[in-house]
């Protein structure tokens, strides 16, 4: 039975924290494959306009080049509109019958899970793997939600911090993969109003 990790988010931009989380998930959950799934638009952040899907996917592919058991899944960006996790998980259920699905979620999003579209159905199809943040309390939700926490890499680094640093003219070396650090200035990303972009 395949064990698949699903890592959704805007990845705007992808940073080393994302890559460390992926590594921890593969090791701790004994995953056969882990999919980075960039979203088109979060239903909880309608005012947030991320960089184009093409640029975010380009940065992801550069960041993940040469890594084993890790792939980029473009289905949400190809689907367009608001990205709902239930649609994505149902796609994996159809494509990988019998696979165990593990959805990676930040500790700061656990409380909103019951408000996700068709949340109880989603909880029956996938187990949620909580990415801890420094100082966060252990996550818990009643059944039917199944939660476990990653033991490794409780990180405070976020994409919003990267955007803010770029907007302020500060270095992002050692915070993002080298190839991503080259794309950001070349494409003029994150120069305008970075402070108002929400954390993700």
Q: Which pLDDT value is given to residue 192?
A: 64
Q: How far is residue 200's CA from residue 198's CA, in Å, rounded to a whole number?
A: 6
Report how far Cα 183 is from the mean position of its chain's Cα atoms. 19
What's the number of CA atoms in the CB half-sphere (13 Å) around residue 21? 29
By C-alpha distance, which of 39, 68, 71 is closest to 56? 39
Q: How far is residue 59's CA from residue 19's CA, in Å, rounded to a whole number?
A: 12
**Which top CATH class is 3-156?**
alpha beta
Per domain, the residue ranges of the chain are 3-156
Q: Which pLDDT value is given to residue 34?
A: 98
Q: How far is residue 27's CA from residue 196's CA, in Å, rounded to a whole number?
A: 35
* Residue found by looking up tokens 């109003």 in the block: 193
pLDDT tens over the chain, length 200 residues: 899 999 999 999 999 999 999 999 999 999 999 999 999 998 888 888 899 999 999 999 999 999 989 999 999 999 999 999 999 999 999 999 999 999 999 988 999 999 999 999 999 999 999 998 877 777 888 889 999 999 876 667 889 999 999 999 998 988 999 999 999 999 999 986 534 444 44
For residue 17, give the 3-state DSSP assignment.
helix
Q: Which pLDDT value is given to residue 132?
A: 87
Q: How far is residue 103's CA from residue 119's CA, in Å, rounded to a whole number?
A: 13
In the sheet that holds 70-72, the strands lie side by side as 70-72, 33-38, 3-9, 100-106, 127-131, 147-149
What's the N-to-C CA distance of the chain in angstroms?
Answer: 32
Q: Which pLDDT value is given to residue 198?
A: 42
Strands 127-131 and 33-38, sheet pairing: unpaired
């Amino acid at each position: 039975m395949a064990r698949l990790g699903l890592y959704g988010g805007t990845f705007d931009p992808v940073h080393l924290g994302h890559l460390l989380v992926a590594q921890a998930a593969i090791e701790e959950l004994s995953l056969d494959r882990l999919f980075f799934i960039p979203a088109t638009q979060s239903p909880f952040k309608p005012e947030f306009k991320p960089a184009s899907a093409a640029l975010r996917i380009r940065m992801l592919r550069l960041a993940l080049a040469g890594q084993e058991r890790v792939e980029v899944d473009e289905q949400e960006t190809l689907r367009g509109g608001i990205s709902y996790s239930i649609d994505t998980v149902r796609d994996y259920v159809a494509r990988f019958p019998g696979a165990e699905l593990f959805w990676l979620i930040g500790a700061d999003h656990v409380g909103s899970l019951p408000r996700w579209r068709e949340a109880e159905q989603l909880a029956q199809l996938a187990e949620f793997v909580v990415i801890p943040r420094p100082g966060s309390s252990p996550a818990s939700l009643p059944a039917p939600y199944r939660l476990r926490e990653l033991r490794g890499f409780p990180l405070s680094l976020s994409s919003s911090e990267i955007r803010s640093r770029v907007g302020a003219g500060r270095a992002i070396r050692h915070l993002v993969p080298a190839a991503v650090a080259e794309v950001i200035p070349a494409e003029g990303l994150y120069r305008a109003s970075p402070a108002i972009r929400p954390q993700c």
